Amino acid sequence: MERCLAGRRPQDLRHPGSGMEFGVFDHLDRGNLPLQDFYEARLKLIEAYDQTGFYAYHVAEHHSTPLGMAPSPSVFLAAVAQRTRRLRFGPLVYALPLHHPLRLIEEICMLDQLSGGRLEIGFGRGSSPAEISLYGQDPAEAQRIYAEALDLILQGLSEGRLNFQGEFFSFDNVPMELEPLQKPHPPVWYGVHSVESAERAAHKGLSVVSLDTAHETRSFADRYRKVWREVGGDSHGMPKIGISRFIVIAESDQEALSVARRAYTIWRRSFYHLYQLRGGAPAHPRPWNFDELIETGQAIAGTPERATAFLQSELTESTATYIVGQFAFGDLSLVESLRSVELFTRYVVPTLEEWMKDKMNHEG
């Protein structure tokens, strides 16, 4: 890893000058290590994200499942804040039906202050009805709770007193003793899965990340840009439109595929854990094996050259402006994930930057 750190300055990935940046998405799903060792290994990997210059680290929130070992994103991100210096970070997303908004406002303010203003906050209704039910909440109300809680949280982050009357929450002149460092509040993100959710995000000026195919993401991005223009937004100030992919890179295609296939089996087992226990099916199912995930365009395993070609194709079709790599999943070891990160930042990123610059110059 030291060779990689010496070869790239930390700012290279944050300000590439190509209209594109690079981030990380992490379920923090459980592998085969004891939890104490698991957390320490992941924090060391996040230190590498910081040192190699990724823009941001986005962590998921899940409950009662090995899919997510950060059921309290704020607690884990407080550790991230202390182990990094430049990396921005945040939840993708806080599942708002499972949080009291006042407590979440206070946690967000603390994290933003502790990190020197590096927090990026994502909000959603929660992707798993089973997890929402386990907390005693009604999944049918999740979307309405999300919409209401989002409005009041943003109000509470930007005002000294909170006055709010809604269907689920009511507050009368509550003093906001804490405040975020970033004004009026940290940047806000949303996980987008439909043109309707893209439209809602554009109206509110939220950055988005899609986990879906490039073809589907293109429809989200087109709708986002159209609505963004309709509400008076300009192209220079447009929030990020991200696309997330599983990424495993090695010196040979065979080695990368072998590692990815092994690790994905563990990840998928965790993904379906609660559904096997309690019935039902995920709203966004995942293929049986990593090869099928490659076929859908949601993953790549191979050499840096193969990864570069794949991501160029994904960016072209999706028109995304932000690549979010999932470099750690299943039982991938710290060494295996660090190798992917090193090869990605050493070879893939510079090539994509140059390709994007040429593309922009040609289109301009």
Contact of 23 with 58, CB cutoff 8 Å:
yes
Residues 6+ apart with CB under 8 A from 13: 21, 22, 52, 53, 54, 55, 345, 349
Region 125-144 average pLDDT = 92
What average pLDDT is seen over the chain? Answer: 92
DSSP conformational letter for 238: P
Region 101-114 average pLDDT = 98
Residue 4 pLDDT exceeds 50: no
Q: What is the pLDDT of residues 189-199, one digit of tens each?
A: 999 999 999 99
H or E element that contains 325: strand 322-326
Q: What is the pLDDT of residues 69-78, one digit of tens each?
A: 999 999 999 9
Residue 92 pLDDT exceeds 70: yes
The least confident of 11-15, 16-20, 149-153 is: 11-15
- HSE-CB at 102 with a 13 A cutoff on CA atoms is 15
CATH architecture of the domain formed by 2-83+240-363: Alpha-Beta Barrel (3.20)
The least confident of 37-51, 83-97, 122-136, 211-225 is: 122-136
What is the spatial distance between Cα 165 and Cα 171, in angstroms, rounded to a whole number?
A: 6
Q: What is the pTM of this model?
A: 0.94
Of the segments 19-28, 45-54, 230-239, which one has the largest average pLDDT value?
A: 45-54
From residue 31, how far is each of 110, 258, 332 by CA, in Å? 30, 17, 7
pLDDT band, residue 18 (cuts 50/70/90):
low
Region 288-309 average pLDDT = 97
